[in-house]
Amino acid sequence: MSTRLSIFAIPGIPLVQPGDDLASFILDGLAAMGESLAAGDIVVVAQKIISKAEGRLVSLGTVMPSARAEELAGVTGKDPRVVELVLQESREVLRAKTNVLIVEQNLGLVIANAGIDRSNVEGGSEDMALLLPVDPDASARALRETLIERSGADVAVVIADSVGRAWRYGTTGMAIGCAGLEPLWDQRGDTDMFGKVLEVTEVAVADQVASAANLAMGEARERTPAAIVRGLDTPRRERPATALVRARKEDMFR
Amino acid sequence: MSTRLSIFAIPGIPLVQPGDDLASFILDGLAAMGESLAAGDIVVVAQKIISKAEGRLVSLGTVMPSARAEELAGVTGKDPRVVELVLQESREVLRAKTNVLIVEQNLGLVIANAGIDRSNVEGGSEDMALLLPVDPDASARALRETLIERSGADVAVVIADSVGRAWRYGTTGMAIGCAGLEPLWDQRGDTDMFGKVLEVTEVAVADQVASAANLAMGEARERTPAAIVRGLDTPRRERPATALVRARKEDMFR
């Protein structure tokens, strides 16, 4: 039997406000399309609505840029208040030049602008910024528990962002939080079908799940910030998405 | 209507030899599972079988390492004959240290070992290496034409490899060749649902398709080096996978 995956976006999720109950939105959206959660489903949720529900929206009017932020704003051409938030959300600046500010975000993620987003922010206001969740693995665990409690189905949760890459154009999915699945399948030491031991085959399954879900969720023009990935036979082992972050001592490109 | 994707691996594809007709293997595999190609399907094929069909398997016994290859073999601990092939397949060495050799491959791809693979090579022989196709976009175009001719369905083709990343553990899918689809959806200048103009939203759709297909194809233990991604509503514009390779002058991490 070959693996057969079904991936579909959950439409009808309303604009998310701080404190909103995302589990309800997801379950209601599924019910409206005649679907329900099944054991083994992976519920993929866009980072944006997790951040919004957790109140990670910051009014730039409240941000006082530091001297370092002003300096980097000059280099990058970015709003000094946004740069200040990027610095607060980061451990280290890796690259700064016109239109580009790449950092090690507080979670260890190497990411542009610390993952801070100014699009799709309610009200069309220009002076708001949306930060990444403080602990997306914890967010995923909490959402998973609620979904299991209310649906009875043993599902997994992945919180997905879309990020750029050093040597490729275009964004792809990245799992910044997960619960109930193994994000990294370690096949080192397994043998291939000819009996030869594979040297290194670790598969970033959670990132691939995020990318697959992105295809169904589409981008900003459609309001589908959640999707179901159904049919993936994942190992029972469970780790957080931080397991995907390469250790700094192994980084050859900083 | 939300996008609903169906992704399934094509089982029963035999071991591939040079000159083999991959289109037949794909169509026979689909028929054996009661499936057939439909217009809009994306046929994702693992790089390995494209390379094998194109005779890109090299016996290491025929390879004479250069002085530079011997030197890099000393640094990396790799077989000097494999390093010689890596150098022949590359424009530049980016990083070399124990167990690591990262290059700009001849197609412009920044990739470990120039994408050369020693696992899953027929006969269990240790002294064979499999190179990337010379022109994977051309390979994808040729396969697409044959599939359309024989099936009558207007399908797209993506040739997928699995590659590591600078700041993340685990491999994800990368489209090294494609035909019949737009690999990079450029949404710059579009507005989000609040009317705000998105600054940069280019989506690497072909890479995400490769990752999604990887989930269904599994890894080396199952012989499913091809999969169908069905239900993705892609733009009619068409470009090769080389459109995904970031221009060298924009590379900040070399």
pLDDT recorded at residue A1: 46
The sign of the torsion formed by the CA atoms of B51, B52, B56, B59 equals positive
* Burial class of residue B175, CB neighbours in 10 A (0-12, 13-18, 19+): buried
Q: Which residues of B touch A229 (CB under 8 A)?
A: 215
- Tell me whether strands B42-46 and B156-163 are parallel, antiparallel or unpaired: parallel
**Quick check: B204 and A172 CB within 8 A?**
yes
**pLDDT(B42) > 50:** yes
Residues A164 and A85: their CA atoms lie apart, in Å, by: 20
Residue B120 lies in a domain: yes
Annotate A105-115 with b (16+ C-beta within 10 A) or e (fewer). bbbebbbbbbb
Of B173, B192, B208, the CB nearest to A120: B192
Give the three-class secondary structure for A230.
Answer: strand
Of A120, A124, A209, the CB nearest to B215: A209
pLDDT recorded at residue A127: 85
Residues A87 and A176 both lie in one domain: no
**Quick check: B215 and A232 CB within 8 A?**
yes
Residues B119 and B68 both lie in one domain: yes
Nearest one of A169, A168, A163 to A244, comparing CA atoms: A163
The model's pLDDT over B67-88, given as tens digits with 9 standing for 90+, comes to 999 999 999 999 999 999 999 9
pLDDT recorded at residue B228: 97
End residue of a domain, out of B111, B130, B149: B130
Look up residue A140 and give its amino acid: A
**Quick check: A202 and B122 CB within 8 A?**
no
Tokens at B225, concatenated: 């080096």
Ordered DSSP codes for A13-30: PPPP-TT--HHHHHHHHH
* Burial class of residue B75, CB neighbours in 10 A (0-12, 13-18, 19+): middle
Q: Cα angle vertex A152, ends A160, A8, to 5°?
A: 40
Domain limits at A88? 58-130
pLDDT recorded at residue B188: 60
Q: Looking at the complex, does the CB of residue A124 fall below 8 Å from at least one CB of chain B?
A: yes
The C-alpha of A21 sits at a distance from chain B's nearest C-alpha, in angstroms, of 22
Choose, out of A167, A201, A223, the residue to mutate when testing the contact with B (most B CBs < 10 Å).
A167
- How far from the centroid of its chain's Cα atoms is residue A224's Cα? 15
The CATH number of residue B201's host domain is: 3.30.1330.100
**pLDDT tens, N- to C-terminus, chain A (254 residues):** 456 899 999 988 998 999 999 999 999 999 999 999 999 999 999 999 999 999 999 999 999 999 999 999 999 999 999 999 999 999 999 999 999 999 999 999 999 999 998 855 555 556 899 999 999 999 999 999 999 999 999 999 999 999 999 999 999 999 999 999 999 987 665 555 555 555 557 899 999 999 999 999 985 445 689 999 999 987 778 999 999 999 999 999 98
Nearest one of B142, B182, B176, B180 to B159, comparing CA atoms: B176
Q: What value does the mean pLDDT take over residues B223-231?
A: 91
Look up residue A60 and give its amino acid: L
User: Which of A233-242, B105-114, B236-245 is the least confident region?
Assistant: A233-242
Of A2, A110, A172, the CB nearest to B11: A2
Q: Looking at the complex, does the CB of residue B232 fall below 8 Å from at least one CB of chain A?
A: yes
Residues 6+ apart with CB under 8 A from B225: B13, B16, B45, B46, B48, B49, B217
Ordered DSSP codes for chain B: ---EEEEEE---PPPP-TT--HHHHHHHHHHHTT----TT-EEEEEHHHHHHHTT-EEEGGG----HHHHHHHHHH---HHHHHHHHHTEEEEEEEETTEEEEEETTS-EEEGGG-B-SS-GGG-SSEEEPPPS-HHHHHHHHHHHHHHHH----EEEEEEEE--SSBSSBEEEEEEEESS-SSEE-TT-B-TTSPBPS--EE-HHHHHHHHHHHHH--TTS---EEEEE-----S----GGGGBPPGGG-S--
**Quick check: B119 and A187 CB within 8 A?**
no
The CA radius of gyration of chain B, in Å to the nearest whole number, is 19
Q: Check residues B149 and B201 and name the one with the higher pLDDT.
A: B149
Residues B183 and B202: their CA atoms lie apart, in Å, by: 10
End residue of a domain, out of B89, B106, B130: B130
Nearest one of B83, B89, B88, B81 to B62, comparing CA atoms: B81
Q: Looking at the complex, does the CB of residue A198 fall below 8 Å from at least one CB of chain B?
A: yes
The sign of the torsion formed by the CA atoms of A220, A226, A229, A230 equals negative
Residues A146 and A152: their CA atoms lie apart, in Å, by: 10
Residues A157 and A182 both lie in one domain: yes
Residues A173 and A228 both lie in one domain: yes
Residues B112 and B196 both lie in one domain: no
Of B170, B200, B224, the CB nearest to A207: B170
Q: Looking at the complex, does the CB of residue B190 fall below 8 Å from at least one CB of chain A?
A: yes
**Quick check: B244 and A169 CB within 8 A?**
yes
CA distances in angstroms from A27 to A8, A31, A206, B6, listed in the order given: 14, 6, 22, 22
Residue A46 lies in a domain: yes
The CATH number of residue A91's host domain is: 3.90.1660.10
pLDDT grade for B224, boundaries at 50, 70 and 90: confident
Residue A252 lies in a domain: no
The number of distinct structural domains making up chain B is: 2
Residues B239 and B149 both lie in one domain: yes
pLDDT grade for B27, boundaries at 50, 70 and 90: very high
Q: Which residues of A touch B95 (CB under 8 A)?
A: 252-253
**Quick check: A209 and B219 CB within 8 A?**
no
- CB pairs < 8 Å spanning A and B: 267
Q: How many residues does chain A have?
A: 254
Minimal-distance CA residue of chain B relative to A250: B167
Q: What value does the mean pLDDT take over residues B134-160?
A: 98
- How far from the centroid of its chain's Cα atoms is residue A179's Cα? 12
pLDDT grade for B202, boundaries at 50, 70 and 90: confident
pLDDT recorded at residue A221: 47
Q: Looking at the complex, does the CB of residue B168 fall below 8 Å from at least one CB of chain A?
A: yes
Q: Which residues of B touch A219 (CB under 8 A)?
A: 185, 187, 201, 203
End residue of a domain, out of A83, A105, A130: A130
Residues 6+ apart with CB under 8 A from B73: B65, B79, B80, B83
Residue A251 lies in a domain: no
The overall average pLDDT reported for chain B is 90
ipTM of the complex: 0.93
Residues B209 and B155 both lie in one domain: yes
Q: Looking at the complex, does the CB of residue A88 fall below 8 Å from at least one CB of chain B?
A: no
Residues A109 and A44 both lie in one domain: no
pLDDT recorded at residue A190: 55
Residues A214 and B209: their CA atoms lie apart, in Å, by: 10
Strand-pairing partners, residue B8, are A4, B228
User: Which of A160-174, B19-33, B139-153, B220-234 is the least confident region?
Assistant: B220-234
* Burial class of residue A210, CB neighbours in 10 A (0-12, 13-18, 19+): buried
The C-alpha of B28 sits at a distance from chain A's nearest C-alpha, in angstroms, of 15
Tokens 């103009």 -> residue? B197
Residues A6 and B2: their CA atoms lie apart, in Å, by: 13
Please say whether the beta carbons of B44 and B210 come within 8 A.
yes
The C-alpha of A95 sits at a distance from chain B's nearest C-alpha, in angstroms, of 8
